[in-house]
Each structure stands twice: as structure tokens, then as C-alpha cells.
């Protein structure tokens, strides 16, 4: 008997996330041995504001527009939205966007906001990145009391790298080394939210 294949569609903003988010999900699915899941090509918004704006279909604004677009293009079994929280409260904005998204689809959907940026997850993984040779061996790694309260994540990475952090190239490459271990989950609440959301989406898609 042929095993059914499930599809997860992703909605992102930013050129780096177009490569990084599917890569992260593929690695997680492989680690969890969910081998009959595939990741569709991401739907990219021009900005976070285009997704969080009130729904205006004519102007292609609002999470509702992007969820419908993902549904038509990918025919997914689940949809995951990954955005940067920046200065917004990630929990509140994620819940607001999730409620809006659910108003236009019955497909299992999750909304995850990296607090404050996707690069925060790299700050939570500095030692791993250094061991992988992505951060110079002689770079002195800082200790953060609360990683998710840190601002200027890209600037901090640039300082450690000794060069300008390049989102298009570095974000996917660093994502290859993000781990799915307890220490990562404890360092970043938004990363933990991503992993628990993925568990939920896989379960709901299969059921």
C-alpha cells in the first residue's frame, strides 16, 4: 500500500526565510521521522506589515489573503506562518493572526513569531555555530540573561562574524545547524513555540 504524502505550506517575509524556513522544517521532519511530509515552496509577503494589515483582497493585504494564496497554490494539509515579532508582543500578535487565519480556512494552521527576529534563534545557538565553523573560533561568545529581550540581533551577529551578516546567505546556512534539543527550547520561548506548533500541525494534518 502506498503511504500518503502530506504537504505543509509556509508563509514568510524576507528573502532569507524563503530558504531558511523550509530547510528548518525539513530537518525537523527528518529528525522526527515524519518522512511522508513535504514542504511546499514558500509564499513570501513583501513585509510583515503586508501580513498584519487589515484584510484588503484588492491590495493583496492581510494574513487572510496569504492563507488563501497558499491554499490555492499548494493544496496543503497544514499551513505554517513564520514572522519576526520585532517590537510586537509575539504571543498576542500570533494569537490575533491565528484567529484571523482560521476565519478563512479549516486547514490546520499555525502562526509563529520569532522574538524578536529569526536571528534570535542563532544567538541561542552561538556555541553550536562556532563548533560548526560558522563563527570564528577566536570570537568571544557573549552570555545573554534573556536572549529574547536582545535587540539588534543581526548587528550582534555581524560583530561576532567580523563582517556584515548577510541574510540571504547566512540565514539558510546557519539554519542547517539549529538543534532541536532541550537547551535550545529553554533559551528561546519562540523557538519552543515553533517546535510545539509543528508537532500540533503534523498531528492535525494526519487526523
Cell of 153: 540581533
DSSP letters spanning 21-89: HHHHHHHHHHHTT-TTEEEPPPEEES-HHHHHSPPBGGGTBSHHHHHHHHHHHH--SEEEEEEE-TTS-
Mean pLDDT of each 10-residue bin along the chain, 207 residues long: 88 95 98 97 95 96 98 98 93 96 97 96 97 96 92 96 96 97 93 97 96
Q: Give the global pTM.
A: 0.95
d(CA 178, CA 48): 23
What pLDDT is attached to residue 60? 96
> What tens digit of pLDDT does each residue of 144-201 get?
989 999 999 999 999 999 999 999 999 999 999 999 999 999 999 999 999 999 999 9
In the chain, helix, strand, coil percent, each to 5? 50, 15, 35
Amino acid at each position: 500500500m502506498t503511504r500518503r504524502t502530506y504537504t505543509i505550506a509556509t508563509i514568510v517575509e524576507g528573502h532569507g526565510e524563503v530558504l531558511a524556513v523550509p530547510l528548518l522544517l525539513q530537518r525537523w521532519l527528518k529528525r522526527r521521522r515524519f518522512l511522508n511530509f513535504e514542504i511546499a515552496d514558500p509564499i513570501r509577503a513583501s513585509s510583515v506589515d503586508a501580513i498584519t494589515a487589515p484584510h484588503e483582497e484588492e491590495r493583496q493585504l492581510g494574513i487572510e489573503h496569504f492563507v488563501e494564496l497558499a491554499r490555492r497554490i499548494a493544496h496543503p494539509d497544514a499551513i505554517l506562518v513564520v514572522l519576526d515579532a520585532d517590537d510586537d508582543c509575539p504571543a498576542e500578535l500570533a494569537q490575533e493572526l491565528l484567529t484571523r487565519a482560521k476565519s478563512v480556512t479549516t486547514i490546520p494552521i499555525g502562526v509563529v513569531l520569532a522574538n524578536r527576529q529569526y536571528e534570535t534563534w542563532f544567538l541561542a545557538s552561538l556555541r553550536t555555530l562556532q563548533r560548526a565553523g560558522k563563527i570564528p573560533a577566536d570570537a568571544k561568545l557573549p552570555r545573554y540573561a534573556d536572549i529574547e529581550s536582545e535587540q539588534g540581533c543581526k548587528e550582534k551577529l555581524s560583530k561576532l562574524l567580523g563582517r556584515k551578516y548577510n541574510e540571504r546567505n547566512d540565514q539558510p546556512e546557519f539554519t542547517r545547524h539549529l538543534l532541536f534539543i532541550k537547551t535550545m527550547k529553554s533559551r528561546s520561548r519562540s523557538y519552543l513555540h515553533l517546535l510545539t506548533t509543528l508537532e500540533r500541525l503534523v498531528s492535525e494534518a494526519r487526523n
